[in-house]
Structure 1
Amino acid sequence: MIHITTKTFDQLTTTELYNLLQLRSQVFVVEQDCVYQDLDGKDKKALHVLGIKDQKIVAYTRIFKPGDYFEFSSIGRVVVDNSQRQHKYGYDIMTASINAIKEYYNTTKIKISAQCYLKRFYNNLQFFEIGEQYLEDGIPHIAMIYDKK
C-alpha cells in the first residue's frame, strides 16, 4: 500500500525533490535509455503527486492546470519504481492525479502525451487517443484525452 500526497514545488522538502528527480532519472534516462533534459523548468509550476512506501517515493506524477502545458489540465512524468510495478501503483498514482486535478483545478478534461506502449494502461483509466502517433525524445507517443464528468 502506498500513501499519496500532493504538494506544490515550494512544499517539497529537499529530500523529496532529490528522490523524485532520482526516480525520474532512473526510469526515463537509464531504464529507457533516453538522453533528454528532464529538468525542463516546468516543475515550479506543477503540483507534484508523490506515492510513498516505506518512506521512499515509489510512484510519482506532476500535474498542470489548463494552459500551463496544454490547453487542458495535464499529467506528466508518470513513473513507478521498477521494483514496485507488480503492485499496480501506476493506477493508484494516476487515479490520485485525476482526483487532484478535479480538486485543485475544478476540471475533468485532461490531456496527456503517452508513450504508445502504455496505451492500454491509459485506456483502462478512461484516456482515449487523439491524433497520430509522434516521436518525443525518440520514443513513440500519442496524445490522449480524459473527459469524464
Structure 2
Amino acid sequence: MQKVTTFLWFEKNQVEEAADYYVSVIGGDSRVLDVTRWTAAGPGEEGAAMTVRFRLDGAEYVAFDGGPEFPFTEAVSLSVECESQEEADRLWSTLSSGGGQEGQCGWLKDRYGLSWQIVPPGLGEALTDPDPEKAARAMKAMLSMKRLDIEAIRNA
C-alpha cells in the first residue's frame, strides 16, 4: 500500500461509475480495489458507495461520494505520460467525450470535471531541446494546440 494517496471528492452517486470508467480507460495495472458503503448512520444513501479505492496503472486513488460543495478545478490534474501518439490520441478522445471539455496544451476535463494532462512521448525533450530556437518553436507550437501532436511539435 502506498503511503500517500490522492483523495478525489466527487458529486453524489458518481464514485463507483467514475472509478470503473477510469480503470477501463487507463488499463494496464488498473482495477477497483475496494468499495466502502454508506450505512444508516451516515449522511449518504444507505448502501450507496461512500468511497472507492482504485488503482490506475499502479497508482492508488480514493474517490469519495462528497456532493457538490467542492468541485474539481484545474488546480489539480492527473498527468498521463503516454507511450505513443496513438495512446495519447485514444486517451484524449475517450476522456474528453461524453460531456468532457478540451482545454489547451494537452489539458482536458473529463465528464466528471476532473482535469487531465495527456502527454505524448518526447514532449519534454522537444521543449528542452539544446537549440533554444528549436525549443522555442516547439513551445509555440504546443501552446497553439489542444490535443498535442508530437510530430507537429517536433517539426515546428
TM-score of the superposed pair, with normalisation by structure 2: 0.27
Which has the higher Rg, Structure 1 or Structure 2? 2
TM-score of the superposed pair, with normalisation by structure 1: 0.28
More helix by share: 1
More strand by share: 1
